[in-house]
Amino acid sequence: MASQAASLTAAQLKNLPRAETITVLYKEKDATDGDNLRIVGDKFPKSIATAFSTKWKAELIPSNKTNVGESHSVIVDSIVVTGGSYGIWRDILNWMLGSCQGFGFAQTPSQRFKPYSFQFFVRECAVSIGCDTLQERASKRMERICAEQVHSEDVRALWLVNPPNEETRAFLVEHIAVRLWEKRLKAKSAYWTLREEFPDLNERIDTFLAQLKKDSAGDPRGDRRGRSDVQGVKDTTKKDGARKVRAQRPQGHAENGGEGKTVVLKMEVVRKATKKTPAYAKLDLASIGVTREQFCGSRE
- Give the domain extent around 158: 149-217
Residues 81 and 172 in one domain: no
The pTM of the whole model exceeds 0.85: no
Q: How far apart are CA 242 and CA 256, in angstroms?
A: 15
User: 147-150 — which CB contacts under 8 Å span 24+ positions?
Assistant: 149/175, 149/179, 149/185, 149/186, 150/116, 150/175
Q: Which of 217, 247, 277 is at the close of a domain?
A: 217
Name the more confident of 157 and 300. 157
Residues 119 and 204 in one domain: no
Per-residue pLDDT tens over the stretch 109-128: 999 999 999 999 999 999 99
Residues 2 and 105 in one domain: yes
Give residue 252's pLDDT. Answer: 47
The answer to the question of residue 133 being in a domain is yes
Q: How many CB atoms lie within 10 A of CB 41?
A: 23
Residues 25 and 128 in one domain: yes
Mean pLDDT confidence for 12-22: 93
Q: How far apart are CA 152 and CA 141, in angstroms?
A: 17
Which domain CATH number covers 14?
3.30.710.10
Give residue 296's pLDDT. Answer: 67
Residues 82 and 206 in one domain: no
Residues 137 and 158 in one domain: no
Burial of 95 (0-12, 13-18, 19+ CB in 10 A): buried
Task: Give the number of domains in the chain.
Answer: 2
Conformational region of residue 50, where left means phi above 0, alpha means psi within -120 to 50, and beta covers everything else: alpha
Q: How many CB atoms lie within 10 A of CB 84?
A: 21
Residues 26 and 164 in one domain: no
The answer to the question of residue 297 being in a domain is no
Residues 81 and 138 in one domain: yes
Residues 131 and 7 in one domain: yes
The answer to the question of residue 259 being in a domain is no
- Which of the 8 DSSP states describes residue 6? G
Give residue 233's pLDDT. Answer: 37
Helix, strand, coil content of the chain in percent (nearest 5): 50, 10, 40
Mean pLDDT confidence for 175-188: 94
Average pLDDT score over the chain: 81
Count of CA atoms in the C-beta half-sphere (13 A) of 232? 5
Query: Is the pLDDT confidence value at 96 over 80?
Result: yes
The answer to the question of residue 231 being in a domain is no
Per-residue pLDDT tens over the stretch 42-89: 999 999 999 999 999 998 865 555 555 554 555 678 999 999 899 999
Residues 188 and 100 in one domain: no
